[in-house]
Amino acid sequence: MKTSFSLKYRPQKFSEIAGQEHIKNILINALKKGRVANAYLFAGPRGTGKTSTARILAKALNCLNPQGIEPCNKCIICNEISNSSSLDVIEIDGASNRGIEEIRGLREKLRYKPVKGKYRIYIIDEVHMLTNEAFNALLKVLEEPPSHVIFIFATTHPQNIPLTILSRCQRFDFRPILSKEIIGRLKDIVKKEQIKIEDKAIKLIAEASKGALRDAEMRLEQVSSFSDKKISIEDVEEMIGLVPEKEFETYLNLILSSNYDNFIRFMDNLLFSGFDILFFYYSLLDYIFETYLKKENTNNIRDILYMLIDAEHIIKDSFKPHIAFSIVSFRIMNKFKTSSLTPSLKTQKNTSTKQKEDSKQTKIHEPKKAPPKKKKTIENILKKSNIYEDEKSVIIHSDMAQILNKNIPYLKEKYKKEIIIKKEENETGNKKTESNPKIENLIKGIEKYLQAKEINE
């Protein structure tokens, strides 16, 4: 029976551990100086090398023929630790040995000296699963440990461990492994196993593992059995259940265009393809964050992300997640439909320097228009002005000539002719009216009549 990739290519030396340089440096320097602690706590996400590092540390402490700081991996102690058969290195599953009776039994065994090595090492995985009573029983051992005993605790939830235990351990926080490091490890396995696979497919497996090397190795092993032909990115998406990016693009376009009918068909196809709605929902959030959130002019997409995040409890806690997800999507559509936002995903995605330059060019050729408030003011001034128009020009007589002069581009666009503005004011500053001979003669007659009446009196 073949060994799985995660076990076959498990690191056996400090130099083979992927990432975690900060941890490797501290442990190596501590071994060089002989400063060995009685208890270590390795905390971090799954698949980042906590248990593997614990085994390598145990080998380095008990190896009969160490190569500097590294274990030789050839002596009987190294081989027994690698095969999980060593009497001096005991691995305990904290999830299945979590009670006080198991810890009491462990305390009774601590008094025995190591059989072959220098130290008796206990590796307790998922230590956060121990009960409070078990932690209390373990506390006494950590306070006054035998000189030949070393504890190495591994956990994914360090916050669940009592502070009294944490304060007696040297804590090392393991970080998610970078995608480029995972890709390098996967390429080494592909070369050794002679697997035919596209580089893009390897990259997709690494990114889908979210920093867990073990997950990436398991997925690579899974897709390697898919076909004798070269494995493509489509094969990887189908085998490990990843949602293709085109599905996310389709969803966003349907939301931005408020296309209800096509959205219902899209949801039917999504369910028919076997995708879990919650998995699609969380994958969609990751895709929007990675693809759009860090770009400019993507306000619409950001609004979608915020609204989807706000509705997480509705979708997650629903007995029918696909119905809840559809209703939330309809609400988002309604908001976009009533807010007059531009429903163009491609326009938002391609906001580059070229687009900015194009906008600058259009601004140069556009005539300068008056702002909306000024436009109304200018129209009111024109109503009170005397306007004379011929084939080539428009002559405007107004006592507000100064304001009109500042808005000549707008007037040119309005009349499509040359604009001439003249200022006309009488003695009181009011607008001058056109002369009328009949009215002038009437005024003169009235004045003569009044003068003659005064003389007679």
CATH number of the domain bearing residue 38: 3.40.50.300
Residue carrying structure tokens 């970078």? 178
Q: Could you tell me if 88 and 117 are in contact, meaning their C-beta atoms sit under 8 angstroms apart? A: yes
Q: Could you tell me if 264 and 281 are in contact, meaning their C-beta atoms sit under 8 angstroms apart? A: no
Cα–Cα distance between 96 and 384 in angstroms, integer? 93
What pLDDT sits at residue 53? 93
What pLDDT sits at residue 68? 85
Domain co-membership, 232 together with 330: no
| Averaged pLDDT for residues 222-244 | 81
Q: Quick one: what percent of the chain has pLDDT higher than 90?
A: 22
What pLDDT sits at residue 445? 62
171 — phi, psi (to 5°)? -95, 135
Q: Is residue 357 part of a domain?
A: no
What pLDDT sits at residue 425? 53
Q: How confident is the model at residue 236 (pLDDT cuts 50, 70, 90)?
A: confident
pLDDT of 366 over the 60 cut: no
Least confidently predicted of 1-15, 74-88, 126-140, 318-332: 1-15
Q: Is residue 247 part of a domain?
A: no
What pLDDT sits at residue 375? 60
- Name the residue among 159, 208, 202, 210 with its Cα closest to residue 183: 202
Report pTM.
0.64
Cα–Cα distance between 171 and 22 in angstroms, integer? 12
Q: Is residue 413 part of a domain?
A: yes
Q: Could you tell me if 56 and 172 are in contact, meaning their C-beta atoms sit under 8 angstroms apart? A: no
Domain co-membership, 165 together with 212: no
Cα–Cα distance between 420 and 55 in angstroms, integer? 92
What pLDDT sits at residue 417? 75
Q: How confident is the model at residue 6 (pLDDT cuts 50, 70, 90)?
A: confident
Cα–Cα distance between 202 and 207 in angstroms, integer? 9
Cα–Cα distance between 333 and 337 in angstroms, integer? 6
pLDDT of 383 over the 80 cut: no
Boundary-marking domain end, from 173, 193, 210:
173
Domain co-membership, 126 together with 228: no
Q: Is residue 356 part of a domain?
A: no
| Averaged pLDDT for residues 74-100 | 89
Helices (H) and strands (E) counted in the chain, each on its own, are 23, 8
Q: Is residue 394 part of a domain?
A: yes
What pLDDT sits at residue 276? 84
Please name the helix (run of DSSP H) or strand (run of DSSP E) that holds residue 97, with its range, or none. none
Domain co-membership, 287 together with 424: no
Q: How many domains does the chain have?
A: 4
Residues 365-372: contacts with CB within 8 Å, 24+ apart?
A: 367/409, 367/410, 367/412, 367/413, 368/409, 368/410, 369/409, 369/410, 369/413, 370/407, 370/410
Boundary-marking domain end, from 173, 202, 218:
173
Least confidently predicted of 105-119, 208-222, 377-391: 377-391
Residue 336: both structure tokens together: 């976009």
Domain co-membership, 183 together with 169: no
| CATH code at position 225 | 1.10.8.60
Q: Is residue 216 part of a domain?
A: yes
What pLDDT sits at residue 318? 85
CB count within 10 Å of CB 345 equals 20
What pLDDT sits at residue 365? 45
Residue carrying structure tokens 């040297």? 170
Cα–Cα distance between 354 and 374 in angstroms, integer? 33
| Averaged pLDDT for residues 382-388 | 72
Ranked by mean pLDDT, the top range of 224-228, 262-266, 291-295 is 262-266
Q: Is residue 358 part of a domain?
A: no
What pLDDT sits at residue 41? 94
pLDDT in tens, 405-420: 777 777 777 777 777 7
Least confidently predicted of 10-14, 132-136, 316-320, 350-354: 350-354
CA distance to 13, 176, 334, 335, per residue, from 338 (Å): 62, 43, 6, 5
Domain co-membership, 398 together with 332: no
Least confidently predicted of 106-115, 151-160, 424-433: 424-433
Work out the mean pLDDT of the chain and round it to a whole number: 80
Domain co-membership, 219 together with 142: no
Q: How confident is the model at residue 441 (pLDDT cuts 50, 70, 90)?
A: low
Please name the helix (run of DSSP H) or strand (run of DSSP E) that holds residue 142, with its range, or none. helix 132-143
95 secondary structure, DSSP code: T
Does residue 272 sit in helix, strand or coil? helix
What pLDDT sits at residue 162? 92
Domain co-membership, 19 together with 73: yes
Tell me the H-state helices in 311-371: 312-316, 321-338, 345-349, 353-365
pLDDT of 205 over the 60 cut: yes
Domain co-membership, 282 together with 221: no
Please name the helix (run of DSSP H) or strand (run of DSSP E) that holds residue 284, with its range, or none. helix 277-291
Q: Is residue 355 part of a domain?
A: no
Domain co-membership, 404 together with 331: no
Does residue 100 sit in helix, strand or coil? helix
140 — phi, psi (to 5°)? -60, -35
First CA to last CA distance, the chain: 142
pLDDT in tens, 113-172: 888 889 999 999 999 999 898 898 888 888 888 889 999 999 999 999 999 999 999 999
- Name the residue among 212, 238, 245 with its Cα closest to residue 223: 238
Boundary-marking domain end, from 137, 157, 173:
173
What angle is formed at CA 286 by the lines to CA 284 and CA 290, rounded to 5 degrees?
120
Q: How confident is the model at residue 431 (pLDDT cuts 50, 70, 90)?
A: very low
Q: How confident is the model at residue 30 (pLDDT cuts 50, 70, 90)?
A: very high
Amino acid, res. 430: N
Does residue 121 sit in helix, strand or coil? strand
pLDDT of 376 over the 80 cut: no
Where does residue 47 fall: left (phi above 0), alpha (psi -120 to 50 degrees), or beta otherwise? left
Residue 34: both structure tokens together: 């002989």
Across-strand partners of 386? 397
Domain co-membership, 30 together with 108: yes
| Averaged pLDDT for residues 240-249 | 83
What domain range is 300 assigned to? 252-349
Across-strand partners of 288? none
Domain co-membership, 129 together with 101: yes
Residue 441: both structure tokens together: 């003669």
Q: Could you tell me if 223 and 239 are in contact, meaning their C-beta atoms sit under 8 angstroms apart? A: yes
pLDDT of 262 over the 80 cut: yes
Cα–Cα distance between 4 and 2 in angstroms, integer? 6
